[in-house]
Chains A and B, each alone.
Chain A
């Protein structure tokens, strides 16, 4: 019988390779896997908590898994460490904590290619389930940047141009080096960049810091869904970041 395994964050490549060898069915618990209200997690987690980790708990409550690997090291967060305690308490399956400190680069072709950002993000997050990277598409010249973690609500990604390059922890995901703070902190000062973090995540501090120091940076945090003001901010940011508007009008 196929073993059903949930993963949280990015467990080491050796763990993913082992799961593939065992032909396990892997579920990325960071992403919504079932249709149910996040409020169902209220008996296990505070309501004011990272929406991604609330999603992890919601998935774990419903998926009837055989085991879970949850990364709790520098490549994930302290919140995940505490969620691992809760998962152990609420489930009767093995919950393995890992501390992924892989530093062997797998490459970042998807982060730099021309592709709708929603598709790009989907491909990057799907890549977490594979131990080895696939040969990626060619890079494009960036006109915009998305820095941060994959958002709980992917719909906000539809507001970005196809020539958006991806930075931050999502880039670390594709590179399979989630604890590489140097890569996570890398930005391109020449492209207007949205610095995104999940509300209540420790990465909000780094996102705000980098946005404040970026010549064309917009800090944005969202919780469960991207509301109309968050969407409008992204839309206006890219519209107003075009140098043509103010420069042309002043010339005219």
Chain B
């Protein structure tokens, strides 16, 4: 069976009939005729025979991987952020921010390419920008650079602000399970003011496997 998590920037694809792990393909490079058997994500309805709601896939993947009864799982994607909170084995809260918190992951990747930055080499700043949106937050970077901050410092404050906003969106938990491509960004992960457990970018695929 061909499973797919159709992200805005990257598609995660798993063929359950082979022993190979999931494959990551840039969405812009995906073959136009590609159709999955079961999928989630923005293009799931158009590019698959059956689709699963993204929040449902995230929750089911979290249950499978984390296994506990009380947890908060936050998925930071290219275009949106979403979370589920479990208490005593039941979903008690959830959120999906696709508008006001939009384009965070996409903007972080865009900035690294534009300014030629390696997030693994940037120290976590003590303070950050107060931002709720990747696009609107760009102005803070430009203003900070104009006022004398280096581009690297300004982007670091931007990333810290994005992480803090995502943390508040998820309800400010003491321990946070993190899903999505930003798990690979040490500056982003280190900017959370709580214990973060990174689960990587295949949580939704895991959710599809148990659907």
Question: Does the CB pair A232–B96 fall under 8 Å?
Answer: yes
Q: How many A residues face the partner with a CB closer than 8 A?
A: 20
Q: Which listed residue (A233, A243, A249) contacts B95, Cβ 8 A? A: A233
Known: A235-B53, A239-B53. A229 touches B89 (CB 8 A): no
Q: What is the bound-complex CA distance between A250 and B123, given in angstroms?
A: 42
Question: Does the CB pair B59–A236 fall under 8 Å?
Answer: yes
Instruction: Give the contacts of B148-188 with A (CB-CB under 8 A).
Output: none
Q: What is the bound-complex CA distance between A239 and B91, given in angstroms?
A: 10
Question: Does the CB pair B90–A233 fall under 8 Å?
Answer: no
A-B contact count (CB 8 A): 50
Name the distance in Å between B105's Cβ and chain A's nearest Cβ: 16
**Please, which residues of chain B bring their CB within 8 A of the CB of A245?**
60
Instruction: Give the contacts of A25-45 with B (CB-CB under 8 A).
Output: none
Question: Does the CB pair B56–A240 fall under 8 Å?
Answer: yes
Q: How many B residues face the partner with a CB closer than 8 A?
A: 21
Best-surrounded residue of A218, A228, A229 (most CB of chain B within 10 A): A229
Question: Mostly helix, strand, loop or mixed at chain B's interface?
Answer: mixed
Counting CB contacts under 8 A, is B5 at the interface? no
**Please, which residues of chain B bring their CB within 8 A of the CB of A143?**
none
Q: What is the bound-complex CA distance between A249 and B55, given in angstroms?
A: 18
Counting CB contacts under 8 A, is A154 at the interface? no
Best-surrounded residue of A218, A228, A232 (most CB of chain B within 10 A): A232
Question: Does the CB pair A216–B92 fall under 8 Å?
Answer: yes
Q: 0/1 per residue, B7-47, Cβ < 8 Å to A? A: 00000000000000000000000000000000000000000
Question: Does the CB pair B53–A232 fall under 8 Å?
Answer: yes
Q: Which listed residue (B90, B96, B97) contacts A246, Cβ 8 A? A: B90
- Report 30 cross-chain contacts, Cβ distance below 8 Å, ordered by A residue: A215-B92, A216-B92, A218-B94, A227-B98, A227-B99, A229-B80, A229-B97, A229-B98, A229-B99, A232-B53, A232-B54, A232-B96, A233-B94, A233-B96, A235-B53, A235-B56, A236-B53, A236-B54, A236-B55, A237-B91, A240-B55, A240-B56, A240-B59, A240-B84, A240-B91, A240-B94, A243-B90, A246-B63, A246-B89, A250-B89
Instruction: List residues of chain B with CB under 8 Å of any chain A CB.
Output: 53-56, 59-60, 63, 80, 84, 89-99, 210
